[in-house]
Amino acid sequence: MDTAQARAAFEEFVAGRSAALGRTAYLLTGHRQDAEDLLQSALARAAVRWSRLDDPEAYVRRVLYTQSVSRWRALRRRPPELLTDQPPQTAATEPCHDTRVVLDLALRRLTPKQRAVLVLRYYEDRSESDTAEVLGCSVGTVKSQTRHALMRLRALNPQLAQLVDGRLPQEVPAR
């Protein structure tokens, strides 16, 4: 495959699969900018070895997961916002009771590895051994990370406790 063919195939792949890959990247990072950065980084890695890839999507997904838990990547991540003693310029909003939003916010409170395990196990429906293989860790680590992630979700919000325990979350009336 020459370069022109590889470029065309790559662009076709990006056009077809970037939306789905972007969603996964968002789940793994919890921020749009970080997701964009993560996805571009994974696609760039795929681009330089495109002609040698048998299953590009599997490769890109694997890079997404491994990079999302990479220590080096964590070092390059944007610095956190600075806390100041100034009051916020906008008033605090009412607590949100939409399960989707609550889960979205709760995922951001997990560690990168816990998020990756949850996404692989419950979003992609992978087995524990598959998850361990993708993340390059032991099955025991996957089990413990899953357990800690679910415990953390339970602790963060009662709605999520219901969700984790398998009950449909009940809408809490807004005050």
Partner 1 sequence: MTNALRDALHQVADGSPSVPVPSGLFDRARRDRLRHRLTGLAAAALALSSIGLAAQIALPPTPAATDTTVDPLPAHIVHAPAWTADIRHAPLRRALVAFDNDGFDIGYTVDMERGESVPHPIGPLTLVGPDDAYRAYDLSDAGDHWDGTVELSPDGRYVMTGHGQHTRLLDVATGDARTLEAGTPLAFSPDSRQAVLVSWDNPSYLHPVRGAINVVDLPSGAVAWSAPLADGPLPREVQAALSPDGSTLIVQRRGDLYTYGREHGVGWTRSLSMTGGIAGQLAWTPDGRSIAVDMMDLCLLDADTGVTGRCLQWQAMLTRMPEREQTFAKPIILDWADGAPIVTMGRDVVRLTEVAEILMRTPRTDTVGALTVASSRVQWTPRQPGPPDPGPLVHRYRPLLVGAGWAIAVLALGYILIRLRRRRAPSDRRDTAQQG
Provide the binding-site residues for partner 1, judged by CB under 8 A: 6-7, 10-11, 14, 18-19, 21-27, 32, 35-36, 39-40, 43-45, 47-48, 50, 75, 79-80, 83, 99-100, 103-104, 107, 118-119, 122-123, 125, 163-169
- CA 45 to chain centroid, in Å, comes to 18
Whole-number Cα distances in Å, 131 to 83, 113, 134: 36, 11, 5
**Residue 12's CB: how many other CB atoms inside 10 A?**
10
Nearer to partner 1, 80 or 173 (CB): 80
Nearer to partner 1, 86 or 175 (CB): 86
Q: Report the b/e string of 63-90 with b at 16+ CB within 10 A.
A: bbbebbbeeebeeeeeeeeeeeeeeeee
Nearer to partner 1, 6 or 156 (CB): 6
Rounded CA gap, 124 and 28, in Å?
Answer: 12
Q: Which of 170, 171, 119 is nearest to 145 (CA)?
A: 119
The CB-of-133 to partner 1 minimum distance in angstroms stands at 20
The CB-of-55 to partner 1 minimum distance in angstroms stands at 18
The CB-of-140 to partner 1 minimum distance in angstroms stands at 20
Nearer to partner 1, 45 or 73 (CB): 45
The CB-of-172 to partner 1 minimum distance in angstroms stands at 16
The CB-of-21 to partner 1 minimum distance in angstroms stands at 8
Nearer to partner 1, 31 or 144 (CB): 31
Whole-number Cα distances in Å, 6 to 10, 12, 44, 122, 149: 6, 10, 13, 33, 40
